[in-house]
A and B are shown apart, each in its own frame.
Chain A
């Protein structure tokens, strides 16, 4: 009777180690992919929420532009440029539009860094960072887009605006596909 050698041989050890490394590598890769997915999903969710908030704030201000319960003749659009729009409203109905309050709100597209901001008086509130495309478009009573010079529309041109649109595109860091929003809001004017 011969005795069999006990313990692991070198070959078994190497194979076992290789299998262990392979399994651990796969686990690590899976975890890394899961982590990347989590980060990307978080970034995507944040980008979509931010873009939505930006256009909701714009819509909120645009809908109430020209609100004039006292009938004093509030001009709804104080500024109409491709990169900036300013709305006015007499929210408290006192017949006066207070430029230092929420009665005058501007929305501005900034380029460096790419950002869209809501400006109330001297306060500028960034609504969205990482903005790669941002702009405002203006439409007349027939729904035709109005050509806007870089300096913006003059008073006569602004008087002909019946709707304003904002286009926002954000490309968050680490994501390839952008988050896009376009909102068109009609302005209420005395007929």
Chain B
């Protein structure tokens, strides 16, 4: 019997089968690794497209419609930059008109995002928030300057008359969230926020100029509608130039000051106070608002609170102001689809 004649072929066959099995296992592993990598890329691109969409929507300024968005940065329809939206790096965002114009304002936003080696496209439907303005008590058109509050600024984001209303932020401005937090911390005990006041929020500048034009065109009352006695009815008030308050003034509704609001006495308002310039509350003066304050704070203007300023959330007061004159609204995401 010759053992070598059977054992060697058997061993060689076993080795061949083992090599085949090993190869198959290696190929299977390679395919799974490739699939996992593709999934990883797809997930990264999906996250990038969602982040880009969220950033683009949040960055859109509150407005009444989407005309400015569709016209693009140059503000003129029919040009190359129509619908161009500033987006995160690695992402292109472009708005276009929604089908069937009319009714509630809408726009479509195409997002083309790349991330993690993948690419995703999506279409989003934008609309305007039913709630007017933004959920903040003080909305500034520029970052608040350091040392602005030497007196006391008190903010209360809870609405005592409406337990269902969501709490508001104390401050909103076009600045980095960390910078707004740092500003609040730097002001120390001069700025006090109630427990239910939400942290400062980032928001584009309020559309002061457009709002002022709308107020002016709506046959508003003048500064005389602000009364020294409490309880005036809600009105639309437009003040040409600065408003200097030396005595005691009360008002309700919406007051637009086309200049600086300079309070050296006492000013008590229920509703929305809009100031195109700066705000100054002198030492010993008092500024009380049940509603919100929007201030443009253009370059060269001041925000200085040496006296006492107190702002409290009052949902009904803002709705009353909105009923007098429709206020701008934030852009919101109504729907989306992956392409």
Contact = CB atoms under 8 A, between A and B. Distances in A.
A71 B336 contact: no
Interface string B301-339: 000000000000000000000000000000011111110
B140 to A, nearest CB: 25
Interface stretch (A34-42, A121-129, A152-160, A169-177): A34-42
A45 interface: yes
Interface string A174-191: 000000000000001111
Interface stretch (A58-66, A77-85, A108-116, A143-151): A58-66
B219 interface: no
B334 A94 contact: no
Contacts of B6: 20
Nearest to A49: B35
Interface stretch (B125-133, B152-160, B183-191): B125-133
Interface in B119-138: 123, 125, 127, 129-131
A100 interface: no
B170 to A, nearest CB: 23
Interface string B96-107: 001110011010
Contacts of B333: 188
Contacts of A94: 99
Contacts of B210: none
Interface size class of B (residues with CB under 8 A): 35 or more
Contacts of A76: 335
Given A68-B125, A95-B99, A41 B29 contact: yes
B10 interface: yes
B37 interface: no
Contacts of B22: 34
B39 A69 contact: no
Interface in B50-101: 98-100
14 contacts: A23-B7, A30-B18, A41-B25, A42-B28, A45-B28, A67-B335, A69-B98, A69-B106, A69-B123, A70-B98, A70-B100, A71-B100, A71-B127, A188-B334
Interface of A: 8, 13, 16, 20, 23-24, 27-28, 30-31, 34-35, 37-38, 41-42, 45, 48-49, 52, 60, 63-64, 66-72, 74, 76, 89, 91, 93-95, 188-191
Given A34-B22, A93-B100, 7 more contacts: A23-B11, A45-B28, A45-B35, A66-B334, A69-B106, A93-B98, A95-B100
